[in-house]
Amino acid sequence: MPVFRRRILIKTDPLEAGVHYRAALEDDFHHFRVDLVVRDGRIVSLRGEAPRHPYSLCPSAADQLQLLIGTAPDASAHAVMRLVDPGQQCTHLLELSGLAIAAAARALPQRRYDIEVPLRVEGRTQATLDRDGTRLLAWDVQDFDIEGPPPYSGIGLRQGMARWALANLSEDMAEAALVLRRCAVISMGKNRPLDAQKHARPTSACFAQQQERAPLALRQVGSTWNFTWRPDQLCRDDQAWMDFKA
């Protein structure tokens, strides 16, 4: 059974603990990196990279992260969504930045998320998330709704979930739930012939999909990889960079 997988790694520089952070994200469709520096309670540097991306304009979205320069780190990873217009950002770079910023606010030395979402059968799957090597979440999902276990039973994966999670879960659990929510939604792309697209769809959902950019955001054919049987390869090329050796 094909499986969508995503790995997220966050780590602080041992020489500048709590000041300099790096974060990497890789899944079947994406590979992004974020480099963050915080000094005197403010973000002073935030750079994004896109080693593998679905559309030609995705790397240009990294420039939009500069709008977060000068803001104070928030322990809630979702806080970045209120500071900028998410539709003018790369969804995954912005969310990765939020996770790195939250780690800095909490002075975490490192964090790792591993997510698995098997291909849906008649709309049904079980989406799981491990944090730092421990199983934290396992949702029974039907289409775009969580069937269980409580307290997630009956929660939809689309509009309103972030508001529910932030109001009903601890900060840590809300972060994990929203990480898994994103994967449970985009995993459905494994069912689709994405390389048949010529360019991004003009949905206005993200930077590349804005009406004025979508026709210019050309599909990067071959950018979708399959990690079903090789989860150990996720973020393999990030190791030296994450250790601040590159």
In angstroms, rounded to a whole number, what is the distance separating the alpha carbons of residues 181 and 234?
19
Bridge partners (DSSP) of residue 7 are: 26, 114
Neighbours of 147 (CB within 10 A): 15
**pLDDT tens track for 87-109:** 999 999 999 999 999 999 999 99
Please provide residue 67's backbone torsions phi and psi, each rounded to the nearest 5 degrees. Answer: -65, -15
Bridge partners (DSSP) of residue 35 are: 22, 47
| pLDDT for res 74 | 97
Q: Are 6 and 25 a contacting pair, CB within 8 Å?
A: yes
Question: Is the pLDDT reported for residue 53 higher than 90?
Answer: yes
| Domain edges within the chain | 3-111+220-236
Question: Is the pLDDT reported for residue 1 higher than 90?
Answer: no
Residue 5 Ramachandran class (φ > 0 left, ψ -120 to 50 alpha, else beta): beta
- Alpha-carbon distances of 128 from 37, 70, 121, 139, 180, rounded to whole Å: 31, 35, 16, 6, 7
Neighbours of 133 (CB within 10 A): 7
Question: Is the pLDDT reported for residue 31 higher than 90?
Answer: yes
Confidence bin at 199 (pLDDT 50/70/90): very high
Whose tokens are 């994967």? That residue is 183
| pLDDT for res 203 | 95
Residue 196: Cβ-neighbour burial (10 angstroms; 0-12, 13-18, 19+): exposed
**pLDDT tens track for 146-197:** 999 999 999 999 889 999 999 999 999 999 999 999 999 999 998 889 999 9
Residue 223 carries which side chain, given as an amino acid letter?
Answer: S
| pLDDT for res 159 | 85
Question: Is the pLDDT reported for residue 51 higher than 90?
Answer: yes
**pLDDT tens track for 111-135:** 999 999 999 999 999 999 999 999 9
Instruction: Give this prediction's pTM.
Output: 0.97
| pLDDT for res 246 | 82
Which CATH number is associated with domain 3-111+220-236? 3.90.1010
Of residues 177, 89, 169, the one with CA closest to residue 137: 177
